[in-house]
Amino acid sequence: MKKLTGIVMSLAFVLCAVSVQAVPLDENCNNNADCNDDVVYCNGVPSCSSETSKCVAGTPVSCESDGLFCNGPEVCSEDIEGCVSQGNPCSYSCLEETDQCVECITDDNCTDNNTPFCVENTCVACRVETDEDCDNGLFCDGAETCDNGTCFDGEPPCGDNQTMPSALSFCNEETDQCVECFEDFDCSDNGTPRCDGVMCVECLDDFDCDNGTFCREGVCAVQACDLIIKPRQVRINKMFRPVERRFRITGGEGFDPYAKLDFGLIRVRRAAVSRKGVLKVLTTIPAGAIPNKGPYEIRVGDCVGEIILR
């Protein structure tokens, strides 16, 4: 009897298990509970169609946008069984105001040292409104400029000593200055063979002078009534129009700064004497009026001096 009872109970359990077995999609069903749920939240819940009495797939979970662009689209997350933002859609920077991916928003977004500034959402070498961003701190290679976000090299301020050997074509980076020479070797043998660190001069000390003359401010002059004229060298080779030149004139014993001036073809516009007795003369050198270069004589009363026209 007990054995028969056990058989009946086992058969009942099997029949019950068969009756609650879930039905796959597209198979016949009586109600929603019959349909197999794949337990994937984002797929939705399958149901039994009232029209076909077959199991149909559930409706996938639809996530409503939160209205923000820069956190990405909203998607269904199986981990939390809910909607989450997918994340920044941009490789670089995201501009929420225009729903755009851009290269930068601030300078901090520009990590390349060659383009460290953010201008109109683009990393550039310099800001359009200033050339200072391009300045490399060097004098001798010229002033760098900024044009449309790109830095351009400047023109060397001292020219090229090969093409302009008579100009101040050497550049001293330490003093930010164009000079004619660094050493005597740079000075040609044209009456000014010594270098004072800036200009080629006739002498640096009395040992450079002969015939009883003495070195006075780079010029060999006798003590009595020789003129010392600064600057001694004047460029005229590019004078296509009249050019103003200022001279400072002193002299030895017998020099009278108030005496008559004779500058020849150079026109004297104004002359004045300082408290220290230095004659200051403002002149105009007419264009093309002096055809020959070289020594050019100047007189102040009985005193004579010369400048070198180059």
pLDDT above 90 for 4:
no
Q: Encode pLDDT of 229-285 as tens digits.
A: 999 888 776 567 788 899 999 987 778 999 999 998 899 999 999 998 999 999 998
| Higher local confidence (pLDDT), 31 or 13 | 31
pLDDT above 80 for 189:
no
Contact 109, 103 (CB under 8 A): yes
Q: How confident is the model at residue 57 (pLDDT cuts 50, 70, 90)?
A: confident
Question: For residue 62, what are the contacts with CB-CB under 8 A and spacing of at least 6?
Answer: none
Q: What is the pLDDT of residue 96?
A: 86
CA 198/CA 234 separation, integer angstroms: 15
Q: How confident is the model at residue 2 (pLDDT cuts 50, 70, 90)?
A: very low
Q: Encode pLDDT of 138-155 as tens digits.
A: 888 888 888 877 888 888
Could you tell me which residues are beta bridge partners of residue 47?
Answer: 56
pLDDT above 60 for 163:
no
Contact 44, 59 (CB under 8 A): yes
Residue of 195, 208, 197, 251 whose CA lies nearest to 226: 251
Q: How far is CA 13 from CA 16, 21, 33, 48, 155, in A?
A: 5, 12, 19, 25, 99
Q: Which two tokens stand for residue 170?
A: 């050497």
Contact 146, 127 (CB under 8 A): yes
Mapped onto helix, strand or coil, the DSSP state of residue 211 is coil
Q: What is the pLDDT of residue 14?
A: 38
Q: Which two tokens stand for residue 146?
A: 């900024």
CA 226/CA 209 separation, integer angstroms: 14
pTM for this predicted structure: 0.38
Q: What is the pLDDT of residue 238?
A: 58
Q: Which two tokens stand for residue 117?
A: 């500034």
Question: What's the whole-number mean pLDDT along residues 116-127?
Answer: 86
Q: Encode pLDDT of 196-226 as tens digits.
A: 988 889 999 878 888 767 787 788 876 657 8
Q: What is the pLDDT of residue 129?
A: 67
Long-range contacts of 158-167 (CB under 8 A, 24+ apart): 166/235, 166/237, 166/310, 167/235
Q: What is the pLDDT of residue 239?
A: 60
Q: How confident is the model at residue 10 (pLDDT cuts 50, 70, 90)?
A: very low
Contact 83, 73 (CB under 8 A): no
| Higher local confidence (pLDDT), 188 or 20 | 188
User: What fold, for 225-309?
Assistant: Immunoglobulin-like (2.60.40)
Contact 71, 83 (CB under 8 A): no
CA 261/CA 247 separation, integer angstroms: 12
CA 117/CA 164 separation, integer angstroms: 39
Q: Encode pLDDT of 63-101 as tens digits.
A: 988 889 998 899 999 888 889 988 888 888 888 888 889
Q: What is the pLDDT of residue 209?
A: 85
CA 107/CA 116 separation, integer angstroms: 6
Q: Where in the chain is the domain with CATH 2.60.40.10?
A: 225-309
Q: Encode pLDDT of 17-53 as tens digits.
A: 334 456 678 888 888 888 887 788 898 888 898 888 8
